[in-house]
């Protein structure tokens, strides 16, 4: 197998585990969207991009390892992965699309790459972390990027940030410290 096309396994609600072979170099958008039982997936180093909505609605996914070969994460890639608790985005990633982690209600820990410049629209809206340190490469915090993060108490905004978008931290009820 070389490619997994768009919507290839979309809506396969009983699919719980998948190991993608190293021969696969492309996974299309929505390839695993709506796989509500998917709890474990292994992405090989042959993948360079996680396309839009690839894992949208995979509510049982608790952890995912993104390999160092990945350079971009598409919009809505992990939208509504409601049981995702932690994610480490490797330094190879230079762009993350809007709404990539929207409605990841249990997402508590995020490690952002050191060279990302922009946090896009609604990127982490409705996530569950209590604090986040942004890398010094960030210049833009997009519109509503952290909106409705009810447990966010502290954020460190680096000097590199030149723009904070409209409603970037709106309704972060617990926010007490901005450094």
Identify the pLDDT of residue 63. 85
Please name every residue paired with 132 in a beta bridge, in sequence order, or none if there are none: 155
- Read off the pTM: 0.96
Cβ contact 118:94 at 8 Å = no
| pLDDT tens readout for residues 64-77 | 999 999 999 999 99
Confidence of residue 26 (pLDDT cuts 50, 70, 90): very high
| Tally of CB atoms within 10 A around 21 | 11
Identify the pLDDT of residue 133. 85
Cβ contact 138:113 at 8 Å = no
| pLDDT tens readout for residues 146-172 | 999 999 999 999 999 999 999 999 999
| pLDDT tens readout for residues 82-137 | 999 999 999 999 999 999 999 999 999 999 999 999 999 999 999 999 998 899 99
Does the pLDDT at position 27 exceed 90? yes
């Amino acid at each position: 197998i070389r490619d997994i096309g768009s919507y290839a396994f979309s809506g396969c609600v009983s699919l719980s585990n998948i190991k993608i072979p190293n021969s696969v170099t492309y996974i299309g958008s929505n390839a695993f969207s709506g796989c509500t039982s998917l709890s474990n997936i292994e992405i090989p180093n042959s993948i360079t991009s996680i396309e839009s909505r690839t894992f949208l609605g995979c509510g049982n996914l608790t952890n995912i390892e993104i390999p160092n070969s990945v350079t971009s994460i598409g919009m809505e890639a992990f939208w509504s992965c409601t049981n995702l608790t932690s994610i480490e985005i490797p330094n190879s990633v230079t762009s993350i699309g809007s709404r990539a982690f929207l409605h990841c209600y249990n997402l508590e820990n995020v490690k952002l790459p050191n060279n990302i410049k922009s946090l896009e629209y609604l990127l982490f809206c409705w996530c569950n972390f209590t604090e986040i340190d942004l890398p010094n490469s960030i210049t833009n915090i997009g519109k509503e990027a952290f909106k409705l993060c009810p447990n966010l108490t502290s954020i460190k905004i680096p000097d590199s940030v030149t723009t904070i978008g409209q409603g970037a931290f709106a309704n972060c009820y617990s926010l007490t410290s901005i450094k």
